[in-house]
Amino acid sequence: MNDTAVSHRRIGLIIIGDEILSGRRQDKHFSKIVELLGARGLRLSWAQFLGDDREELVAALRRSFASGDVVFSCGGIGATPDDHTRQAAAAALDLPLALHDEARELITQRCAETAAQGSGTADMTAPDNLRRLQMGEFPVGSEIVPNPYNKIPGFFIRDHTFVPGFPVMAWPMIEWTLDHRYAGLHHAVPHVEHSFMVFELAESSIAPVMEAIERRWPGVKVFSLPSMGEGKRRHIELGVKGDPDSAAQALAMLRDEARRLGGVFAAAST
């Protein structure tokens, strides 16, 4: 896929695994993907956590394929019975699975390397290696996503990038995809976020001002993050995000109105 010049692409994240939903493992992907996107001037539009359920995955992927969004999916692309992502992606697209030629070559290389290190065999007809080759079975028409950690690739199809659940593999694979497939999106839309702390102000009193700002500057979003105290003086973090010029004007209005309503200020942040 060539770089796209479309500037307003929504980006979604799907994190898959019963172990995340049960709490046996803590998710590390969400915050890292937000970081990787932010470094490139991009933002995450939505995220979804799903278990290892084939039907649920198929339904979710049908929706995301139909959305036209850029989507990153972490987890479930292995070859054990609890891995369903490859099969679900194929079913969601009404496509068959097939062993990808490049994936077969890379998996074969990996098996030879581990055999040379004294682990397993390089014989690709051995049962263990046949199972490893299943990790290269992708929906027909997929392209591989290189895996610098152990060569076992992920796959890309219809603006969806599927990577393993292991962060050491997933994160560089997603970085590669962002930089090779979506470089045209980097910093395409100027975006800033400003906020300030205000004390002695009821959130209900500032809400009409927030609504007025979003009506006046449609490209700006206003946010309010109240604190219940937690051992400190109660306060609200008020802020704006969006186009730099509009956001600057909106921030000035928000600050002026907060002061007029009796708010007491702390140091500003950006």
Where in the chain are the domains?
11-185, 192-269
Tell me what pLDDT residue 2 has. 37
- Residue 123, CA distances (Å) to 132, 134, 151, 165, 228 in order: 12, 15, 18, 27, 63
Tell me what pLDDT residue 6 has. 44
**48 burial via Cβ count (<10 Å: 0-12, 13-18, 19+):** middle
Tell me what pLDDT residue 81 has. 94
Query: Measured between alpha carbons, how far is 121 from 118 in angstroms, rounded to an integer?
Result: 8
Contacts (Cβ under 8 Å, ≥6 apart) of 257: 206, 209
Q: Average pLDDT over the chain, rounded to whole?
A: 92
- Point out the residues of the chain with pLDDT beneath 50: 1-6, 268-270
Tell me what pLDDT residue 261 has. 93
Q: Are 192 and 45 in contact (CB under 8 A)?
A: no
Asked if the 192-269 domain carries CATH number 3.30.70.600, the reply is: yes
Q: Are 60 and 50 in contact (CB under 8 A)?
A: yes
Backbone torsion region of residue 196, taken as left when φ is above 0, otherwise alpha when ψ lies between -120 and 50, otherwise beta: beta
Q: What CATH homologous superfamily does 11-185 map to?
A: MoaB/Mog-like domain (3.40.980.10)
